[in-house]
């Protein structure tokens, strides 16, 4: 797959490859107390899951990519290369001028902003992992990935998107609800927790034939 040219403050979706698993795993370790292992990512690739990373220009190209009003994000899902709608602009106070956390680079020197892993079924898609690197959180990138995933899923003929979220992760639950997801169930003791105490998962679903116009943004 050929890559689109990057300009400062732009980003694109690209496939996670075996060579990129180390960088993806590094971000995973930064974000979660109970992260996926490199083997989890490798197994996802082998299984043929939709494994995508959001890639920005090298840090040496100038300011790191920041979601802002008027920016252009390019998607490469399903090989279309179509431009994606920009995510809502965050408030100035929520967007630091310089990332507070270290930037993780991919082997080619480009910046790893985030990634997602999704599993396609007969008429549904299950989102297994969606993560934004600490340096780029609260800037709208997760919102963009959710929208691109929904677009890809519709193109695959899926009717539903499913996911689980920790019951304690109130911000994530709110974000998913803004994107049209509804709480439909609870998986007890689904996630590992501290001190051997396991945590419940909230099961959520999004009906894909509903209009995305009511979706909110992720800041």
| Residues acting as catalytic residues | 164, 176
Determine the length of the chain.
Answer: 219
Query: In angstroms, rounded to a whole number, what is the distance separating the alpha carbons of residues 98 and 25?
Result: 23
From the list 102, 73, 96, the residue with the least C-alpha distance to 4 is 73
Q: Which two tokens stand for residue 62?
A: 């100038």
Helix H segments across the chain?
21-31, 38-46, 141-155, 170-178
User: What angle is formed at CA 13 by the lines to CA 134 and CA 115, rounded to 5 degrees?
Assistant: 35
Give the orientation angle of helix 38-46 with respect to helix 21-31, to 10 degrees: 130
Alpha-carbon distances, residue 49 vs 75, 116, 117, 126, 164 (angstroms): 18, 10, 7, 10, 17
Alpha-carbon distances, residue 95 vs 54, 83, 92, 133, 170 (angstroms): 18, 23, 5, 14, 21
DSSP state at residue 79:
G
From the list 17, 150, 179, the residue with the least C-alpha distance to 84 is 150
The owner of tokens 């927790």 is 193
């Amino acid at each position: 797959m050929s890559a689109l040219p990057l300009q400062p403050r732009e980003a694109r979706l690209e496939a996670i490859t075996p060579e990129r698993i180390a960088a993806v795993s590094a971000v995973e370790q930064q974000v979660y107390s109970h992260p996926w292992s490199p083997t989890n990512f490798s197994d996802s690739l082998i299984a043929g899951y939709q494994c995508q990373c959001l890639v920005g220009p090298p840090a040496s190209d100038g300011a790191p990519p920041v979601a802002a009003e008027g920016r252009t994000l390019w998607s490469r899902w399903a090989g279309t290369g179509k431009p994606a709608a920009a995510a809502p602009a965050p408030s100035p106070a929520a967007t630091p001028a310089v990332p507070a956390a270290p930037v993780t680079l991919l082997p080619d020197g480009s910046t790893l902003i985030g990634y997602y892993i999704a599993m396609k079924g007969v008429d549904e898609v299950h989102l297994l992992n969606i993560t934004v690197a600490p340096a780029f959180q609260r800037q709208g990138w997760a919102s963009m990935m959710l929208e691109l995933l929904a677009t890809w899923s519709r193109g695959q003929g899926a009717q539903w998107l499913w996911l689980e979220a920790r019951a304690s992760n109130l911000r994530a639950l709110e974000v998913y609800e803004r994107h049209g997801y509804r709480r439909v169930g609870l998986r007890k003791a689904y996630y590992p927790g501290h001190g051997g105490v396991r945590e419940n998962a909230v099961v959520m679903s999004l009906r894909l034939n509903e209009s995305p116009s009511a979706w909110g943004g992720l800041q």
